[in-house]
Amino acid sequence: MIDVLVTGAKGQLASCIRDLEAQYRHLNFIYADASMLDICDVNQVLSFFKAQKSIDYCINCAAYTAVDKAENEQQKAFQINAEGPRNLARVCVEFKATLLHVSTDFVFDGESDKPYVEHDIPNPISVYGASKLKGEEAIKEVLKRYFIFRTSWLYSEHGNNFMKTMLRLAETRDTLGVVSDQIGAPTYAKDLAKVLLDVIDANNNNYGLYHYSNGGITSWYDFAKEIFKLSNTNITVNPITTLEYPTPARRPKYSVLDKSKVKQILSCEIQEWEMSLKVALTRL
């Protein structure tokens, strides 16, 4: 059996991994939420690994993801998103474990006019983005056996996310304004979970940094319209600009990720975002 530690066990990505675990019968999953394992405390991480005796892989789903709150909670964001991954990487070195870590499109400033590739120079414009970039850098400094997956606009039937927020708002409103000038690609968390588990299942050693999202390009406005269309929700959606909907944290206006590397090296099949959304809404 291959022992796989999943941190951030109560989050949406870890919940999606849990949904898929029956398909990976020779993987033994160990789930740990923040109350069981504080990744910000290196001694606690070390003790946890020792207690388990054998951890072959660690999938780090623990993250500070409150993008706007991070602007006022900078220390907390960097502790969880930068120091946490560093601690996991240090302990993974000691136990010869492979770390799979999830990062974000928010490491980029959004000034590009073409999809971002892995070697494009990051330039985060928010505390959240900066903290996630520091986490990437910490892992690369410490560990050789790692996979970092940058993803974008993550949603699923679990946790809090854009899809569920839209459906909730539609219960009490007739009209809704949604930002139309931020461009990216939604990612169904269960598709990402499958990629992570397939890497482990195949004993893949093509370590490094990868971009992964569902296929296609859209705006938050068009994403919302498709959610309502596929769920047969009757609501009027109006396009608005970022200037009309100011938020504490700046968002990249264009954050499409180029998936060529993940397709070629990890043989990933990329599902179009509309198809994955249909699946997610069915499961919801």
Name every residue whose Cβ is closer than 8 Å to that of residue 268 and which is 6 or more positions away in sequence. Answer: 195, 198, 212, 259, 262
Q: What is the pLDDT of residue 19?
A: 98
- Site of tokens 């070195």: 93
Known catalytic membership, residue 128: yes
d(CA 75, CA 62): 16
Q: Please, what's the largest Cα pairwise distance for the chain? A: 56
d(CA 11, CA 9): 6
Name every residue whose Cβ is closer than 8 Å to that of residue 18 and which is 6 or more positions away in sequence. Answer: 6, 9, 29, 31
C-alpha distances (whole Å) from 181 to each of 22, 55, 95, 165, 245 are 40, 44, 46, 19, 11
| 218-219 and 183-184 beta bridge pairing | antiparallel
Q: What is the pLDDT of residue 53?
A: 83
From first to last of its 284 residues, the chain has per-residue pLDDT tens of: 999 999 999 999 999 999 999 999 999 999 999 999 999 999 999 999 999 989 999 999 999 999 999 999 999 999 999 999 999 999 999 999 999 999 999 999 999 999 999 999 999 999 999 999 999 999 999 999 999 999 999 999 999 999 999 999 999 999 999 999 999 999 999 999 999 999 999 999 999 999 999 999 999 999 999 999 999 999 999 999 999 999 999 999 999 999 999 999 999 999 999 999 999 999 99
- Site of tokens 């998103």: 81
- Site of tokens 């699946």: 279
Q: Given 31, 57, 128, 212, which residue is catalytic?
A: 128
Class at the top of the CATH hierarchy for domain 2-160+185-216+255-271: alpha beta
Domain extents in the chain: 2-160+185-216+255-271
| 208-211 and 57-60 beta bridge pairing | unpaired
